[in-house]
Structure 1
Amino acid sequence: MASPAGEAEGTFALPFTEQDLEILVLKITGSVSSTRRRVRRLESVEQRLLEDFGGQLFDAVFTGSVRTCLERSLTAAEDADAGLRLRLRVAAPLENIPWEFLYAREYGFLCLSPETPLVRYVAMPRSVPPFPVRPPLRILAMLSAPSDVPGLQNEEEWDKLQTSLSHLIARGMVQLDRLPVGSLAALQRPMRQQQYHVLHFVGHGLYDEDADDGALVLEDETGRARLVTGRDLGTMLRGYRSLRLVVLNACEGARSSVDDPFGGVAQALVRQGVPAVIAMQFEISDPAAVVFSQSFYEAVADLLPADVAVVEARKAIFAAENDVEWATPVIYLRSPDGTIFEEASDPPPAPPPPVDDPSEQRRRQFAEWNRAAALALEQDRWNDAIAALEQLTAAGDNDPDTARRLLYARDRKQQTEPATQPVIAEVRDRLLAKLIDLSLYLILILFLAPSADGGELDTDDWLRFGVLAATVAIYEIVLTALWGCTLGKYVLRLKVVRRRDRRPVGWTESLLRWFVQFLAWVACLVGAAVLYASLLWDKSELHQGWHDRVAGTLVVKLPPR
């Protein structure tokens, strides 16, 4: 042990068997759901269990001269009005012990105090200087949900991440972007085009016992599962100096092998050059993950050391009546003082030119508008970017790049800021629209239906039937594909959109909707009645009928004209 109070050494004997540790982990993970459903008591069973475990672990580590060094170091830190960082370097067989539960009766849980942050320190030959940043902190989210691996819904996870960071995004402290797909290849272009500071992974993680290595479950080019080790991911991230932190919201992401201290995903990333990695040593619940993201990224955006930011996030989880999950996040650091970011200093301003030079004044004004536009575009503030670029254009800037950026900003504003979000159409409006359409069909039937003379149908009659069916099909398919509505829906301000992104439907969706309805009408009134009654059976409040489900569509109510 090396400390501000000197060096010491002692003999460590693990006070638990491997079976004891497995039982403890099962109790911890098994208690997560139950502890969230009840109000915290003065001292819960789980907290007493963890205090007992952490206390035995603390007493086994800090004995004799080692304990004396710790106490003297804490006293010295307190006298200097500073904290004492506990940098843990353990042998590979001890990596899987949840050291974050270290507990001393006189200090409490060490991990819950910013005065005693505990990190799993990875010593490397090269030092890691902090990277200069100015707001916003840029986070690239990577969500992986392979089609052949159940249990993760991409859109729901993305909504949770956006919700947890919404107040930081609104204040301009954080910029959150998302990879289009959760594949290894999808990382290249965004990382090349933008200086991202954080990679936030959400998905499945596992430990391959046969390969003795940790892995993340990413997507391949077909959307199916592909196991990617920490070494492989680290290879893709090397060379991007702005990337200072990787957060792995994946169960078993922090686990290591018995022989290789970098066998886990987190350790492998650190060895590949990532200054700080946060991984979950147990599966983390959704509420705890949301609280962690909110508090942690707020502290990082405030330029706190990474380990202190983790302490703040742990305290937030503990304050949310969660006795267990505050120790789930584990931080691995290469930085000795935990500082991975520092505030970027602006270059000294150039001496201003004489103010009586009109051409120089014009040049400086153009430069100011260009800087404002560039910053607004970088932070996705489309209105500010449009205002600055329009000022340039009005002042006579004929640079083609200015026109191109203005067109881009207007397009992005139109895509990201719809005027009014439509709401799901009520069942009664949909049925009334269908009655209007059926009235039109009735008029067609009166004109085109075969004559009822009691005899067999001749060629003319079959031709009439064909024309009638084709007219109805064209009416339903073409109008829906081109305008998203039939005449009945137009009257009631209804529109058919795709469920996944609320964008207009195309020919494929329109054809599928009509074909399912056609099959229902083939079964006469009973089939049609059952089809439209299926609108009432949808418990998700989306009012999707069977034809909507097959085509992947929704019917929404447009705002009044």
Structure 2
Amino acid sequence: MIDKRDQLEKSLTDDADRPTVAELKAFGVVLGKTLFSGSVNELFYAASRRHIQITLCTSDTRLKQVPWEYIVWPDVNEGPHARRTFARSVPVSNGEERKAKSISNSLIAVLVIGADVLGRERIPWNETKENLERIIGARMQGLSTARITMELVEGATRKTVRDALEQKPYDIVHFIGHGRPDGIFLRGEGQQRGVVLPTDAFSKMISDAEPALVILSACDTALIKDVQPLGTIAETLVRSGVPAVVANQLPISVSSIADFTGALYRSLLTDGNIDVAVNKGRIALVKEMEGLRSAPIEWGIPVLYRRPGCSQLFTP
């Protein structure tokens, strides 16, 4: 299963042949049979007409490397299922649930951090910003929608991000840029070249601000290797106190990030459930790539890590 994950990554980065729709579904069925076997599988199907939230919790590094997000079942089409969500639960020493914030009675504050750095593939920041503003602007219309503010830190450096987080509390922190398993890229002070903000420093900066959700629209922020005994950036953030983190376990294009996060925001700001919102984002990616001969691998790239009992971040 890990070898299959490596093949998927190769098809995204080296222009190798992508798996067909049938091949990706066959892999998803294997994942399903691995997690749900025997009487457990029978129980699952007995309950499958209802909405099912599946959470996987493991401390085994090899099991973490498996791309479980591609799980499907023989009775459904390829791709994510509308009524079956999937998340990774991070074991934490302090398992207290965080009370969900009311969408209708409170202001939802979003901080968007953009870091387009030299030496890395250009991120169309303006287009991405306009897309987010359009989504959030649409949510501000009507009588029963959440009241939202969105503030932007462009060309982000360590200092500008820290200053923004210290000025006011945010419910959602959304980073758009480049990442790697051990940190994210920000601009160096007074320059456009990127410098890595290590995972521990980034986690401390974010956890002190106490957001309900962190979205890392950057490659490899959910990628785990054998040399990472403590896990991914996303896992580290959850352990430090962030209820939920959305990151990426493989390289992903900016256009896919826009489609995914657009659907995620729309769902989250309506229903408040992060498991459901991530699933809506995955479904949106599949719809955007309908009709292609090769499989839409992108839908399984985003990964949701969260604390136990923290799927409902906001209440309608």
Category of TM-score, reference length = shorter chain = 0.7 to 0.9
Give the deviation of 1:92 after TM superposition. 1.2
Structure 1: give runs of 5+ residues left out of the alignment. Answer: 1-15, 36-44, 208-213, 344-561
CA distance in 2, matches of 1:21, 1:252: 13
Instruction: Return closer, same or farther for 1:342/1:273 CA change in 2, 3 Å cut-off.
Output: same
- Alignment match, 1:140: 111
Amino acid in structure 1 at the alignment position of 2:97: V
- Alignment match, 1:324: 297
- Alignment match, 2:209: 240
Match 2:196 to one of 227, 249, 258:
227
- Check the 8 A contact 1:256/1:264 in 2, yes or no: yes
Runs of 4+ off more than 6 Å: none
Q: How big is each residue's C-alpha offset from its partner over 1:464-510, in whole Å with a ceiling of 9 and x where there is no partner?
A: xxxxxxxxxxxxxxxxxxxxxxxxxxxxxxxxxxxxxxxxxxxxxxx
Matches within 5 A, 1:152-231: 152-169=123-140, 173=146, 174-207=148-181, 214-223=182-191, 224-231=193-200
Amino acid in structure 1 at the alignment position of 2:116: A
- Check the 8 A contact 1:306/1:338 in 2, yes or no: yes
- Check the 8 A contact 1:129/1:335 in 2, yes or no: no
- Check the 8 A contact 1:256/1:267 in 2, yes or no: no
Match 2:25 to one of 31, 46, 51:
51
Amino acid in structure 1 at the alignment position of 2:10: L
Give the deviation of 1:158 after TM superposition. 2.8
Q: How big is each residue's C-alpha offset from its partner over 1:336-361, in whole Å with a ceiling of 9 and x where there is no partner?
A: 25112235xxxxxxxxxxxxxxxxxx
CA distance in 1, matches of 2:81, 2:13: 20
- Alignment match, 2:293: none
Superposition CA RMSD, Å: 2.8
Matches within 5 A, 1:16-415: 16=1, 18-27=2-11, 46-72=20-46, 74=47, 78=49, 82-90=50-58, 91-108=60-77, 111-114=80-83, 116-126=84-94, 127-133=96-102, 134-169=105-140, 173=146, 174-207=148-181, 214-223=182-191, 224-241=193-210, 243-258=211-226, 260=228, 262-322=230-290, 323-336=296-309, 338-342=311-315
Give the deviation of 1:313 after TM superposition. 1.6
Give the deviation of 1:60 after TM superposition. 2.8
Give the deviation of 1:89 after TM superposition. 1.6
CA distance in 2, matches of 1:311, 1:143: 24
Amino acid in structure 1 at the alignment position of 2:197: V
Give the deviation of 1:46 after TM superposition. 2.6
Greater fraction of residues in strand: 2
CA distance in 2, matches of 1:145, 1:337: 32
Greater fraction of residues in helix: 1
- Check the 8 A contact 2:100/2:315 in 1, yes or no: yes
Amino acid in structure 1 at the alignment position of 2:245: V
Q: How big is each residue's C-alpha offset from its partner over 1:6-63, in whole Å with a ceiling of 9 and x where there is no partner?
A: xxxxxxxxxx4x444322332356679x99xxxxxxxxx6311210111122223322
Instruction: Return closer, same or farther for 1:249/1:189 CA change in 2, 3 Å cut-off.
Output: same
- Check the 8 A contact 2:215/2:245 in 1, yes or no: yes
Amino acid in structure 1 at the alignment position of 2:113: M
CA distance in 2, matches of 1:287, 1:135: 31
TM-score (norm 2): 0.84
Secondary structure, counterpart of 1:274 in structure 2: coil
Q: How big is each residue's C-alpha offset from its partner over 1:144-181, in whole Å with a ceiling of 9 and x where there is no partner?
A: 12345453354344334334544235567432210154
Give the deviation of 1:108 after TM superposition. 4.4
Amino acid in structure 2 at the alignment position of 1:325: E
Secondary structure, counterpart of 2:209 in structure 1: coil
Identity %: 22
CA distance in 2, matches of 1:235, 1:67: 41
Q: How big is each residue's C-alpha offset from its partner over 1:352-392, in whole Å with a ceiling of 9 and x where there is no partner?
A: xxxxxxxxxxxxxxxxxxxxxxxxxxxxxxxxxxxxxxxxx
Amino acid in structure 1 at the alignment position of 2:267: A
Secondary structure, counterpart of 2:116 in structure 1: coil
Higher relative contact order (CA 8 A, sep 6+): 2
CA distance in 2, matches of 1:105, 1:123: 31
